[in-house]
Amino acid sequence: MSVFIPQEVIRIKRDGGTIASTDIEKFVAGITDGSVTDAQVSALAMAIFFNGMSPEEGAALTLAMRDSGDVMDWQGFGFDADAPIVDKHSTGGVGDKVSLMLAPIVAACGGFVPMISGRGLGHTGGTLDKLESIPGYDPYPDNEMFAGIVRDVGCSIIGQTGNLAPADKRFYGIRDVTATVESVPLITASILSKKLSAGLGALVMDVKCGNGAFMDSMEKAEELAGSIVRVATAAGTPTTALLTDMNQVLGTTAGNAVEIFETIEFLTNPGQADARLKEITLALAAHMLALSKAQPDLKTARKKAEEALNSGQAADIFAQMVVAQGGPKDLYERATKHMPLAPVVKPVTLGEAGYISGMDTRAIGMAVVALGGGRTNPAHDVDHSVGLTGICQLGDRLEADQPAAMVYAKTEDAADAAIQAVRASVSLSDTSPDVSPIVAKIIGG
């Protein structure tokens, strides 16, 4: 039996070689138990940053990090072996509340959605922060309760528990301070190790591209999407990636409670929903249902998803999920009581008329962070009551005194700063601009 020597693994990758799966497994075990040092982890990360990984190496790294902690065994919780267990992951954007309506739509059409979500990162909002706007909502049920909600309701949205892919947690912390976060193979393994720990039968990725996304060019977005699809497929999980536009805020709200309000309105009054938000949600739902075989094909899946939304069935399932996780039974009826918004409300007017022709989406996300809706310190709590509503969309025509958005802030000074930030982030023109489609490309497994 050969002796495992971490520096030999580093040397192989440094020199552009291929690391054996067994050595990757042993290295990850050393990350988990601490026997591999921070210096060795950072050296391997840098070697991977410069020399990349094959899909087989990526799959081995992903599975080793997945298996470093808990992995959901759905058959052990009474699910059939072929149950359509499916999830979606977004690379992050501004106003991206898609998961909140997507999970109940898919559940209404026969899928089971065990969604492990995250908090806000940088200028992007986090699904978990939004759900915690709802009083009593418990994002950390134990595995048995999590499985029971998925079985009985059809979906459950939770946060990452302490023993979910712990190797990734340490690996990411080291990458964060060694300038290796941007490595596509390591981003891929980080995303997939957490997602696949949920025991998925299929995964759909929403890879965002544009000035409000981490991947600001189509080339970068395609590289990441292709890597995720290849590695997930090699790891045994059928995966499809949709490349979607993030050159404007998704929907008309950005914040936490305000996005829950938009979710409720979307589910209970879909005829009035923002068109781009509806399109991306239904497109993702169709792919999740078809890929997991909950529905026979994309066309049927899309039709079923539309029916589930328009009939109110998806709204009912979202309400059931909220109650199952400790939230109020009358959320829809008394939403403003349960989630009061910040007291200072001011319009963002642009002072001249024209068509909205450009938007610095990242700057709008940072305006929400500055209001308190995101974190400038990882240890800080977010303010769920602040944010933006009524956000204009590219191609909208506004008069000089017509609001481009409404600001909800705790103080006058915070509101005025947000107004200036949003005003500076929006461009006007005399003619209506061409607007990119919300779904730019689909990369299938």
The catalytic position among 97, 130, 195, 287 is 195
**C-alpha to C-alpha distance for 254 and 248, rounded to whole angstroms:** 11
Estimate to the nearest angstrom the gap between the alpha carbon of 411 and the chain centroid.
30
The catalytic position among 156, 183, 190, 193 is 190
Residues whose CB is less than 8 angstroms from the CB of residue 381 and which lie 6 or more positions away in sequence, other chains included? none
The catalytic position among 26, 88, 287, 302 is 88
- Closest residue by Cα to residue 159 from 104, 202, 205, 119: 119
The catalytic position among 42, 62, 90, 361 is 90
Specify whether 276 is catalytic: no
- In the 8-state DSSP scheme, what is residue 79? -
Instruction: Find the angle CA(212)-CA(218)-CA(224) to the nearest 5 degrees.
Output: 90
Specify whether 208 is catalytic: no
**Secondary structure (DSSP) of 191-232:** HHHHHHTT--SEEEEEEEESTTSSB-SHHHHHHHHHHHHHHH
Specify whether 195 is catalytic: yes
Q: Which two tokens stand for residue 298?
A: 């994309």
The catalytic position among 26, 67, 68, 87 is 87
The catalytic position among 13, 175, 276, 304 is 175
- In the 8-state DSSP scheme, what is residue 415? H
Specify whether 385 is catalytic: no
Q: Which two tokens stand for residue 75?
A: 């058959």
Specify whether 130 is catalytic: no
Specify whether 194 is catalytic: yes
Q: Which two tokens stand for residue 235?
A: 């790891």
Q: Do 295 and 301 meet the contact criterion of CB atoms below 8 Å apart?
A: yes
Q: Which two tokens stand for residue 10?
A: 């580093």
**C-alpha to C-alpha distance for 105 and 156, rounded to whole angstroms:** 12
The catalytic position among 62, 124, 127, 244 is 127
Strand partners of residue 86: 202
Give the three-class secondary structure for 371: helix
Q: Where does residue 303 rank: exposed (0-12), middle (13-18), buried (19+ CB within 10 A)?
A: middle
**C-alpha to C-alpha distance for 131 and 136, rounded to whole angstroms:** 10
- b vs e for 400-413, b when ≥16 Cβ sit within 10 Å of the residue's Cβ? eeebbbbbbbeeee
Residues whose CB is less than 8 angstroms from the CB of residue 424 and which lie 6 or more positions away in sequence, other chains included? 360, 363
Q: How many helices (H) and strands (E) does the chain have?
A: 17, 13
Specify whether 297 is catalytic: no
Q: Which two tokens stand for residue 202?
A: 């299929």
The catalytic position among 13, 26, 66, 89 is 89
Reported in sequence order, the residue ranges of 68-210 that DSSP labels E, i.e. its strands, are 86-90, 113-117, 155-159, 202-209
Strand order in the sheet with 405-409: 254-255, 387-389, 405-409, 344-348
Catalytic residues: 87-90, 127, 175, 190, 194-195
